[in-house]
Amino acid sequence: MTDLDLTAINRQQKTDETLRFLMRCFGDVLDGLGARDSAAALPWQALWDGPGQGQGVPDLTSEDLRAYVIALQLLAQSEENAIAQTRRADEARGGLDQDAGSWDQHFARLKAAGHDGPSLARALAKIRVEPVLTAHPTEAKRRTVLAHHRALYRLLVERENTMWTDAERSDLRTAACTEIERLWRTGHVHLEKPTVADERASILYYLSTALPETLPWINHRLGAAWHRAGFDPDLRAERRGRPQLRFGDWVGGDRDGHPLVDAATTQDTLTLFRAEALALHERQLAALAERLSLSEHRFAPPDALFAWIDRRAAALGEAGAAAVARNPGEPYRQAVNLIAAALPPAEGEIGPGRYTEARAYHAELLHLRRWLIEAGAGRLAEADLDPLLDLAECFGFHLATLDIRQNSAYHDRAMAELLQGSAGPEGAAFPSWPAARRADLMRRELATPRPFVAPGTSVGPVADDMLALYRVLARHVGRHGTAGLGALIVSMTRGAEDLWAVYLFAREAGLLQHGPDGPWLPLPVVPLLETIDDLERCEEVLEAFLDCDVVWRSLMTQAERSGEDLPVQQVMIGYSDSGKDGGVVASFWALYRAQTRLVALGRRRGVRIRFFHGRGGAIGRGAGPTHRFLSALPPGAAGGDLRMTEQGETIAQKYANRVTAAHHLELLMAGTLGATLHPRTDPPELLAAMDFLAETSFAAWRALVEAEGFLEFFAEATPIDVIEQSRHGSRPARRTGKRSLTDLRAIPWVFAWNQARFLLPGWYGLGTALERLQTEAPDQFAALVNAKAEATRWPPIHFLVSNAATALARADTAQMQAYAGLVQDREVAERFLSRILAEHARTGAMLGTIYGAPLAEIRPEVQQGLDRRHAALVPLHAKQRKLLMQWRAAQTAGDEKAAGDQVHDLLLTVNAIAAGIGATG
């Protein structure tokens, strides 16, 4: 049996085979570079016949740590390759209708539910999916390292081809060794904290390179699944029945607690993204011109093409004449040349005949496609024009829509400075006014066009900062329309008055438009509901917000201009802070209940609620299998429309490689279709059971985090102090620098618990809640167990319980005890450790009851993967704890040099453990 015979090799065996190949390459590289001792310290020695002696837990040197970082990243690539290859083997065997979340599975289920081809084609055309790429301090790998890994992954894919000769396979192995040597010679930690420009460059790589390469794969997979389902291909002809895929971005626009993002940063981002989008289209048009070498002497192109060439050339003047003269007798090339010449400049005035918006560019590509079909060259139209049309639809002239986010408290400070000029000291106290008084002021001000201050007047640093930003947005709308601009998001929204403030900033900066019925705002204003309390008050907040005339006028005008059937109100719901606030169960259910209530409110008010899911990269921040997440959404919450964040290391995990990226985007689009069309009702007894679990787990969580000494335990039993010193991201770990749980961002909070293997945010409180439910409401508990079973599965409980089981399995009680040993106050250490260990045991026992067997038995494949990683993580944890003790002791003694000597190796342990766990935060 060969290693490529995937019909007989399971995923774990494939992972081992790929890992064996990579580790042998790595061992050879280290041996050749005189680093045999580091090779001997590497994990999985028996798997790859390494030189190690296997004597206990090695005390890793700095070089060993670097080797471990690479080894664990090689494991991640081995797993990714195994997933991709086994999926391809399933496709070859015709088993894709069992591929969780795929087009094939959803088409099969929807057909069984009575949906036919025409209804699915209509529904597909209304599906809209928009991943929003963000940069948070979680990505532990440098961009350079990511590029080297991408090159190595391509070699792994090439290696799967069975056509290679022995000599060619040897060449592939040499190339793999070369890429691994690059990784070994490259620094794996940021020596300096990355700037916003660095993070923006990383996002640009995905938007301008990786994702454009992925689009053809996405459409191919949809078409192939449509064919396999037996639907009429004509239903998707002429580019019908295609979901809309767009991308959003936060880097350069997310200002919440980020002092380095100012108006200039936002302007630079908009300009850079526009330039990159236009450069992408220029490259694609140049390649198209090379391919469309159709001669008018071999066949007769349509007369309409020649007429269009004459008109287009005349409109472009000298540039048009040059475009036509370049390829005499080849009208299709001439047409491509003219389209390229009509692309607008990234900056400056748009000359005569140039496109002012991407829709015009897209329309002329469609004309060219039709003229190819009329000439009998339909195959060329599909192969050559469709990819450019996809790029134009997806990326436009802006690559991604840039959201603007700012905290409501910052808005309060800006309003105080604006009011101080007109109301004096009383206005300066605006942040401390009661909510009702702030709301009254907003309503009065929104009824008048009079600004607070004259244009160009400086009123204070915070207000000046806000107005400078809104002037950037106003200039962009004036030049390019709203393309490239996303939502204006208010984080920590407490009430409607926090949202109305945005309209006042827009009025001051000239962003508010004036129509015949009154002023309106061309950009959506979006509440971000993050805490449990805010989620519970969601109806109150949104109802009051919609009752404002300028808000309703804005929604109606936006809907009219975008062709929407109903006005659309976007609402962002935060998984990270709600999880930190109430624990995983209360957070999940508060989010679920909030969506249910807002869907009902939208139906009452004649508004479609567009949910924006602020999910993170760890289970404690809303992560989990994409297909399960989508199937677990409340009825009506999808509405054909999905917007969600992709944060930190998840961007690389999902989008760095084309095959993986195409599969993930398929899960998003197919899952949105399924969640929109597949009816589901929520049984009352399960809703009651979840209400009980949420309330009980919330109490357990708050009792833990509010207990005296808990912050001391967290600060010393986890490497949070190292993470706060790290150079992973440009954003500070705390919003204002206060040493409090409230001020600490959810990202480093989860990151720290993961590093010390507690993973508390992913499971704590569930065991207590399940145990009490079983005791106090046995019928509800029995219904819940039944809802987890395959035949009677209720998606919400399946998603919650499966995620908690994964987090619990990744937690390690031996490592918890060892990290608790770092806490100097032994009474504090023992008090919290015993409490956590008891809840861990309780949760494991209750999950075993639900699953009907211990987790390790019921999920053997998951356990095998964890066991493989465990072998590498044990020495890394030991090294991290040793370095933490030395570093903290040096800091206490005021020995800056000794402390500084430890930082680099500490950051290496953070990177390595993050790679070993598979997530940071």
C-alpha–C-alpha distance, residues 377 and 358, integer Å: 25
C-alpha–C-alpha distance, residues 497 and 445, integer Å: 12
Catalytic member of 106, 136, 190, 476: 136
Is-contact 795 782, C-beta < 8 A?
A: no
Residue whose C-alpha is closest to residue 182's, from 158, 210, 146, 206: 146
C-alpha–C-alpha distance, residues 816 and 718, integer Å: 9
C-alpha–C-alpha distance, residues 878 and 299, integer Å: 74
Helix 435-446 and helix 496-509: axis angle, to 10°? 40
Structure tokens at 335: 């047409």
H/E element holding 418? helix 408-423
Structure tokens at 235: 């239903």
Q: Which residue is associated with the tokens 């003219």?
A: 338
C-alpha–C-alpha distance, residues 235 and 233, integer Å: 5
Is-contact 75 872, C-beta < 8 A?
A: yes
DSSP category for residue 254: B
C-alpha–C-alpha distance, residues 97 and 102, integer Å: 7
Structure tokens at 911: 């990177």
Residue 757 neighbours by CB under 8 Å, 6+ apart: 810, 811, 812, 815, 816, 819, 873, 877, 917
C-alpha–C-alpha distance, residues 324 and 312, integer Å: 10
Structure tokens at 524: 């959506």
Is-contact 241 120, C-beta < 8 A?
A: yes
Structure tokens at 86: 């086994």
Catalytic member of 188, 398, 480, 580: 580
Q: What do you get for the CA distance between the two ends of the chain, in Å?
A: 40
Q: Is the dihedral of CA 498, 503, 508, 509 positive or negative?
A: positive
Is-contact 158 429, C-beta < 8 A?
A: no
The runs of H, that is alpha helices, within 481-611 are: 496-509, 532-536, 538-546, 549-562, 575-605
C-alpha–C-alpha distance, residues 812 and 495, integer Å: 41
Q: How many CB atoms lie within 10 A of CB 579?
A: 30
Give me the half-sphere count of Cα atoms (radius 13 Å) on the Cβ side of residue 697.
36
C-alpha–C-alpha distance, residues 451 and 18, integer Å: 65
3-class SS letters over 719-769: CHHHHHHCCCCCCCCECCCCCCCCCECHHHHHHHHHHCCCCHHHCCCHHHH
C-alpha–C-alpha distance, residues 672 and 106, integer Å: 10
Helix 62-92 and helix 11-32: axis angle, to 10°? 140
3-state helix, strand, coil in the chain (%, to 5): 65, 5, 30
Tally of residues, the chain: 921
Backbone angles phi, psi at 456, to 5 degrees: 85, 0
Residue 238 neighbours by CB under 8 Å, 6+ apart: none
> Among this protein's residues, is 136 annotated catalytic?
yes
> Among this protein's residues, is 882 annotated catalytic?
no
Give me the half-sphere count of Cα atoms (radius 13 Å) on the Cβ side of residue 433.
22
Distances (CA, A) of 492 to 119, 136, 578, 580, 833: 40, 18, 11, 14, 32
Rg value, the chain, Cα: 29
C-alpha–C-alpha distance, residues 661 and 718, integer Å: 33
- As annotated, the active-site residues are 136, 580
